[in-house]
Amino acid sequence: MNGKALALLTCLLLSLSEEKPVSLTYRCPCRFYESNVAKANIKHLKILTTPNCSLQIVARLKNNSKQVCIDPKLKWIQEYLEKALNKRFKM
């Protein structure tokens, strides 16, 4: 193998090795859920949807700006999402 081909192959292998591992790329942001967060303590909600994760809801808290994942099965979250969807698609 000549020197140019070897240098090209080395550069190609180095560029491929800098990719993130698949396990980090496809990890869901919420692995644990908080179920005792009061609606009054939430500054804002962020709804995350990814192809390989279930519905993910991240809340920023008012008192310390901490981000927590909220259980999407909570009744008040379900009601909030239903109202938001109805408002968005209401004609």
pLDDT band at 70 (very low <50, low <70, confident <90, very high): very high
In a domain, 2, yes or no: no
- Give 89 or 83, the one with higher predicted confidence: 83
In a domain, 78, yes or no: yes
In a domain, 19, yes or no: no
How many structural domains comprise the chain?
1
- Whole-angstrom Cα distance, residue 41 to residue 60? 9
CATH of the domain at 64: 2.40.50.40
Q: Tell me which residue range forms the domain holding 54.
A: 28-89
In a domain, 40, yes or no: yes
pLDDT band at 18 (very low <50, low <70, confident <90, very high): low
Using a 10 angstrom Cβ sphere, with 0-12 exposed, 13-18 middle and 19 or more buried, the burial of residue 59 is buried
- Whole-angstrom Cα distance, residue 88 to residue 86? 5
**Predicted TM-score (pTM) of this structure:** 0.61
Coil, strand or helix at 19: coil
